[in-house]
Structures are given as structure tokens and as C-alpha cells.
Structure 1
């Protein structure tokens, strides 16, 4: 069953909607939903040791308490890179990216709601993950991707039985095409951006760190940011753990973008609360970090506010830095895709922002894109 408190609400204007309505966004402002949910109290890290070894061990902190379609996602290793920097190997997930954390929540929710079909849009990793979990759930699925998406990712989407639609015009055009399909009756939009269940899945990244580090968190969490789903999930987990009295201090959030596509970093350092109005004449520059090349993330205000509230900052990395970080990680035994190395590219440069203990996520396997030229 769905948890008792399962109501979508709009953080901008307060509009509310039942989960069962299949309404994918606020009908007033067309913005993303948040979720009315409060995790259970009285659970400490020692109480988890006998539980299932997947993210579902944190069921007390999740709006869905079980999944009939789990592929064993979660509980990825945490390994040291330096004396102060550790890496969480989220590329060891079932579909080889961290997106499995949120996709299993969306697909499980869809399975319970029973829509006619599921629609998703993605630059690749979220689409492959949603396709896999929909296959597991027996749900028909259509995934919209930008033209030019990695052939290895589109092959994986098709292999899971999803219908693939390649959209001309880049990431924004792809999102618009998927949202038009999502407005049709009987469609569940498995959006990793608009649906807050995805964020409640990605927040398990931080719950795992909290458990593995003995009930504490590092001084800083470096997170790659495009649409911000891992960062916002991390911020959600930190806020919950603090409210539950399970941590005393909150880590700084170090948000990482590619220099070529860094709208949030620009806004942050300019001191603004949101992105400037869209300029239709300006096309985003190409970048090796395709998974975070998002020119206008719908949750921009929330992302900027979360980083500021944590005392963190935005860091940007050049293309040469991405190439070098990927080679460096491979030389250390970690074969990671180009987007997934962005945080290591930023953190290895050091600087005052990168002080104390830091965890970086290695988000996607190198098999998805290959090595950068």
C-alpha cells in the first residue's frame, strides 16, 4: 500500500494533489511537486544491521516501504581515494548508474497505480534505469532521449523492451516532448525531475553514508548537478537526519557543474535566487559531462537554496579537467563515465572549499560512454 501521507504539494503556490491523480506537475504554475512525508522516529544505525542489504533497509525513512520489483539496488561500496576523500561507487548499481535509487521508487509507484503506460525523458542513464524497472514491473514504457545520446545507452534502453524516441533539438526539446505525452490520459510520467518520489530514492545515498560511517556524515558532500536530483535527495536526507536527532552537524554541499554548461554556478556566484529569463538565441555548449548539461533545471531555486543553506558552494570543471579525472580514476581502478568523474575533477584541484572529509559519487559506469578522446 501507499504510505499514509502521500500527497503532492507545490512548494511555490501550495497547490495539492492526490498521488493517484497521475498529475505530473502543479496545474497552476507547471512546476515540480514536492511530497508530504515525514520519516519514522526511533531508528538508529545499529537497528539496521539485520535488514535486507539494499536501499529498502531504510524503509522507515521512505514513502514506499517495500518493492516487488527490486533489483537489489543500493548499498554501494565506500572506498578511499586519498586521506580525506572517499568515493561511493554508485556505478555498481543494477543498470550501472545511481539513477536506480530513484527509478525503483517511480516504477514501484507506477506499478501500484496501474497506468496505461509510463513515459520518461533522459540523456540516457535515467531512461535506462526507468526502462529496466518498468520491464521488471511489466509496464509498457516509452523513453524520450535527445538525438546523439550515447549508442550504448540507447541500446540498453531498447534491450529492456522500452520504446525509444530520439528527439531533435537537445535536452530541452526532449523534455517538452515527454511532457506533452505525459499530459495524455492514463500516462504516468516517470520524471526524475518533477516527481518527488525520485528524490526520496536518491536520498538513500546519504542514509548509506550515515550508516557506513557509524551514524555521522563527512564534512562535505560533492555532488554533480544538472537537474539536481542527487543533490536535492542528499539535502533531503541531511535535513531528515538532523530533524530526527541522528546527526548533530550538517555537511556542506559542493555542487559541481561543467564549465561549458553551468547556469546554476553562474547564478549562485552572482548571488541570485533563480536563473535569469531564458534566452532562446543562446544554445548550450557541448560538454563531455552530458548527464549534467541542463541549461534550465526546473528545480533551480531549490538547488540554489539548498547549497546556500548548507554553507557550501558551486565548483566548475573544464573539459580538459574531465578528461584528466577520468584517466586518473581509471589508473586507480575505477572505470567511470565522463559525467560521473566531474566531482573528482573538482575535488582533486583542492582549494578552501574542499576542506575536511569529502565524499564524491562515482555515478555511472565507463561502459556507458567509453573514454573521452
Structure 2
């Protein structure tokens, strides 16, 4: 049986397109797509009856019919850090980062569309996730990475069968190379920034918290923000659960102070973010100088009554060490939220609210590596 897939709608100008024939971005303005999909809030949602993966939330996912692509992703544990703050251990995902949540959605979408090859761009975790899930789906995958990407990261991608293309320049140069390749016939661009199916995968992070807390959410969800894929996925889930009577939490985004266009825009009361200089930071995973979905991120945070803050590298380093002493070994980006809301933080945006933070990426195998 053939099932219709929800189509795209432009987040900027309301242009609409069929998912089967659409270009990777809006042809009118070049902006990222949203999805023309709203789950029925009256439909039964009983995740415990589903599989041990994020597909247990199939009734609220935009992927009708049987879904064969999975590596058992999702359902990661919550552990307490304080009496009011829990950490969700997404570094225990199959490829060791939260990017698996979106990658499995795009791999299943690509499998249904049947392209000749899949291309992606990444500086690490997303590329590994796409390589693994494309391998699981039987798809040829090509990942464009910026020069300087560690050989351990590219080695993991190659181990899954992906072709790795090293692009001179930084993260944006790799993205431009992937987008150029994506314009060729028969190519599917697995973009964790431009394709909204990825966001509907990351929203399962919040559904799992809702399930674990027996039908409620904490007073705040604190997430690291670069391109905003986890925050925007969280915003989708919060809105969907609100229609089921769940009290919505505040969304608090955390950036690295060295590259913090969203935090600066939020502080200035701006509706959009101006590009900033690309400076070095320990939190490379969120060092995005010009996030394409900046306007959406700022709007979602303000609607929730939340905030976007930034933390300097010295506090990132200290927070990562503190987590390690608690038995939690994570990459620097994953320590950003703990740096922001640690009980000793001089400017925590949390106050006395309960919260969940994601530990969204595992530490490198070399404990001295950053």
C-alpha cells in the first residue's frame, strides 16, 4: 500500500511543494521548509504499546504506514543532577548523539523516495548518524565535511559505508558543497537544517520526557542551540502536547559565548539574528554564525516565555569536568546547558524551576580531546 507523505510549506513566504518533487529549499526565497502536518490530538497515543524505539510515537510522526528503518534509537534515560534538574542521556543513542532522532526520519523518507544517492553535510555527529541510518536503509550516502574534521569522526562515517568529501574551508563551505551536489538529479539532501522531517524526529526527545514523567513536562526545557534543530523539535512537541492538555514549559536555549548570534538577538529584542564572526570555541557543535532558522527559534523561545543565554568556554570546560566527576562523559557542546544552569552559576536563567537538560553527545574516545 502507498501512503501519501505530508508536503512542505515555506517558513517564510508560505510557498507549498510536494515532498516527492520539491527542491531541498523553497524555490521562491531559498528558505528552509516546514511541514504541512499537525497530528490529531484526539488520536490515541500509547507509546508503551509500540516498539522500543522512537517509532513508539508513530501516531504523532509524519510517516504513515509500516516503518522498517530503525537502530533502536530513543527511549534514553533520565537521571537526576539536582533535586530540580534532570539530565536526559541522549549520548546513549546508537551513534552516540541526539542526531539519530532526525537521521532515522530522513533515512526513512529517503528510502521511500528512492534517490540514487543521499548527500549530507556535517562536522561530526550528524554525518555519522546519516551514514549509519543510510547504511541501515540500504542507501548510498555521501557526507561533505569541512577540512580539519577529525579522522576519528570521518573514520566512523566511512566505517558505515559513506563516501566522505573533505571541503576546503569551514562548516559553511561544506554545506555549500553539499547543496550544490543536492541540485543534481536523483539526489536527496539529508539536511538537518532545511528538511523539517528532521525536526519531527527530534521532537520525540520531549515526548519521551512526557512519557517518563507520566503525562507531564518540567517547568523548563534547556537545550543547546546552534542551528536550533533540537529546540525547534521541542517546540513542535510542546505545542502538540498542549493540545492534549499538557502544561507547556519554558524553552531556554544555550549558546557558546564566542559564537552567539541568537543570544545577542534575544537580548536586543530582535526578531531575527545578524550573522556574527566565526570564532573558535570548545562547543563546536553549536558554533553556527548564521542559523537559517533564527527567526523561528527566537519566536518559539519568546512564545514559551523562555530565554536564550550564552556561556563562556571556561564555564563549559568546568561543567564538562563536573559532569565527568558525576560519571557522565560528554562532548563539550553537551555540557553547555549544565554550564548555564549549574547551581553555582552566577546568572542561571532557570531560577527555582524544574528542568531537563540533554546530554546530547558522547565524549571523544580520547578523554583529553575537546
TM-score by length of 2: 0.95
Q: Compared with structure 1, are the counterparts of its residues 220 and 369 closer, same or farther at alpha carbon in structure 2 (3 Å cutoff)?
A: farther
Aligned length: 366
Report what 1:318 is aligned to.
Answer: 312
Q: Name the structure 2 match of 1:209.
A: 209
**How far off is 1:351 after superposition?**
4.2
For residues 181 and 8 of structure 2, what CA distance do their matches in structure 1 show? 20
Q: Would the aligned equivalents of 1:5 and 1:36 in 2 still touch at CA under 8 Å?
A: no
Question: 2:37 matched to which residue of 1?
Answer: 37
Q: Secondary structure of 2:356's partner?
A: strand
Counterparts of 2:366 and 2:172 in 1: how far apart (Å)? 21
- Tell me how far apart the structure 1 counterparts of residues 2 and 93 of structure 2 sit (CA, whole Å): 25
- Structure 2 CA distance for aligned equivalents of residues 250 and 105 of structure 1: 25
8 Å Cα contact 1:268-1:314 kept in structure 2: yes
Confirm or deny: 8 A CA contact 1:8 1:34 kept in the other structure.
yes
1:283 Cα offset (Å): 4.0
Equivalent position to 1:358, from 355, 359, 364: 355
Q: 2: distance between equivalents of 1:140 and 1:190?
A: 12
User: Does the CA-based 8 Å contact 2:318-2:339 persist in structure 1?
Assistant: yes
Q: What's the offset of the Cα at 1:353?
A: 2.1
Partner Cα separation in structure 2 for residue 92 and residue 2 of structure 1: 34
Write the mapping of 1:49-198 to structure 2, written as runs, cut at 5 A. Answer: 49-65=48-64, 66-198=66-198
- In the alignment, what sits opposite 1:302? 296
For the Cα contact (< 8 Å) 2:340–2:347, is it kept in 1?
no
In structure 2, the partner of 1:21 is 21
How far apart, CA to CA, are the structure 2 residues paired with 1:338 and 1:69? 30
Q: Which runs of 5 or more structure 1 residues have no equivalent in the other structure?
A: none
* Alignment match, 2:364: 367
Q: Which runs of 5+ in 2 are unaligned?
A: none
Distance change >3 Å, CA 38–CA 307, structure 1 → 2:
same
Structure 2 residue aligned with 1:286, among 263, 276, 280?
280
Shift of 1:123: 1.5
Maintained 8 Å contact 1:337/1:371: no
Deviates more, 1:15-24 or 1:229-238: 15-24
Measured at CA, do residues 369 and 7 of structure 1 come closer, stay the same or move farther in structure 2, by a change above 3 Å? farther
Q: In 2, Cα distance between the equivalents of 1:268 and 1:311?
A: 12
Q: In the superposition, relative to structure 1, how do residues 354 and 318 fare at CA in structure 2: closer, same or farther (>3 Å)?
A: same
Instruction: Output the TM-score relative to the length of structure 1.
Output: 0.94
